[in-house]
Chain A
Amino acid sequence: MSELLDIEALEVNRELISIKKSMTQEKINMYISAAEDYNPIHVDPEFAKKTPFRSTIAPGYQFIAYISELMTRDFGEKWVTGGIMDVRLFRPVLPGDELTAGGKVVEKKGKGTGNYIKCDVWIKNQRDENVVAGYTEIDC
């Protein structure tokens, strides 16, 4: 496991180390198996062929979790007890897509005895298109 970020030393414009993921139908099925949320657009190729995407797509919940993974890696338990994630989803994620989740510190200020940190966050696909973009906030 990588070390948590040193909050005191953290500066605005610091890029968070990105993480890469490959989406597959197997991972979608596994996620759906946990969620028991059987929207056919995620699991039924015949149904999905008739949609504008012409393919199954991953649940948004599944890949926005990559941003939380990044935040947990860098901020640990503080993320779990004081994190906010607010994102928009711009494009579908299809099986076979290669995703990169990243972020950058855009604001840091003292709050009480700790700090408030805001990050811009995003997920891009293999064509460098924004799939997800938004921000996170954390009291730490």
Chain B
Amino acid sequence: MVAVKGVRAFPPGRLIHLLNVCEVCAMEAMLLSDLKKGMEFPEYNYTLTENIIVKYLKGVEESNPLYTDRNYAERGGFGCLIAPPTTIALYVTPSRVLRAINKKPPPGLLQSGQRFEFNAPVKVNDTVNVRAFIADVFKKKNRDFVVLKGEVFDSNGILAGSSTLTFIWPTLK
């Protein structure tokens, strides 16, 4: 097992991931006090490669033929294999959004709510553009909540979907 702080349970042999982890480790954690309602983040692109989708499908144990059976998918309305709509959760995350400003989320960030709106399919190997902003920051029952919204546009500029994530910001001790 390769010993990298923060990923001890992770299997070895995935150099690209370890490099990414090291990159993230070097970043400073975002402070709650720096997050304001309406704060916009730099846009970023993300390519949904077949390799990523295969791992995703294994992780969530999904096997719908829209995502896995090329022949079935080609006969359907989309004409090709697509990514599961919930793969939006792979690239609209606090980690990816904060990475755009060279920050990382604090450890222990917890998701408490999620809203997805799906408008159009994202095809395998398509590169999407993500525009994210802080939709709300509030306190409830002595906990700090942050709402992050990300809109996703496909390579033709069509709104493919949006993700509104509510998470509990950890209290630093």
**Residue A106 at the chain B interface, CB threshold 8 Å:** no
Which residue of chain B lies nearest to A25 when distances are taken between CB atoms in the complex?
Answer: B9
- Residues from chain A with Cβ under 8 Å of B14 in the complex: 33
Chain B binding surface SS class: mixed
**Residue B10 at the chain A interface, CB threshold 8 Å:** yes
**At the interface with chain A, which of B32-40, B77-85, B132-140, B149-157?**
B77-85
- Residues from chain B with Cβ under 8 Å of A76 in the complex: 66, 76
- Residues from chain B with Cβ under 8 Å of A72 in the complex: 64, 66, 84-85
Q: Are A21 and B107 in contact (CB under 8 A)?
A: no
Q: Are A47 and B6 in contact (CB under 8 A)?
A: yes
- Size category of the A interface is 35 or more
- Considering only residues 1-49 of chain B, those with a C-beta below 8 Å from chain A are 6-11, 14, 17, 20-21, 24
- Residues from chain B with Cβ under 8 Å of A40 in the complex: 6-7, 107
Q: Are A81 and B120 in contact (CB under 8 A)?
A: yes
**Residue A5 at the chain B interface, CB threshold 8 Å:** no
A40-B6, A61-B89 as given contacts; A31 in contact with B59, CB under 8 Å: yes
Kindly state the separation between the CA atoms of A61 and B65 in the bound complex, as whole angstroms: 21
Q: Are A38 and B24 in contact (CB under 8 A)?
A: yes
Which residue of chain A lies nearest to B111 when distances are taken between CB atoms in the complex?
Answer: A60
- Residues from chain B with Cβ under 8 Å of A69 in the complex: 60, 62, 64, 84
- Residues from chain B with Cβ under 8 Å of A73 in the complex: 64
Q: Are B112 and A88 in contact (CB under 8 A)?
A: yes
Interface centre among A29, A60, A61 (most CB of B within 10 A): A61
Q: Are B89 and A39 in contact (CB under 8 A)?
A: no
**Residue A82 at the chain B interface, CB threshold 8 Å:** yes
Q: Are B115 and A84 in contact (CB under 8 A)?
A: yes
**Residue B71 at the chain A interface, CB threshold 8 Å:** no
- Per-position contact with B for A42-55: 1 when CB-CB < 8 Å, else 0? 01111100010000
Kindly state the separation between the CA atoms of A27 and B85 in the bound complex, as whole angstroms: 19
Kindly state the separation between the CA atoms of A44 and B120 in the bound complex, as whole angstroms: 36
Kindly state the separation between the CA atoms of A86 and B55 in the bound complex, as whole angstroms: 25
21 pairs, A vs B, C-beta closer than 8 Å:
A27-B60, A32-B59, A33-B17, A34-B53, A37-B93, A38-B20, A39-B95, A41-B107, A41-B109, A43-B10, A46-B8, A61-B89, A62-B59, A63-B60, A64-B89, A65-B84, A69-B60, A76-B66, A79-B118, A81-B120, A89-B112
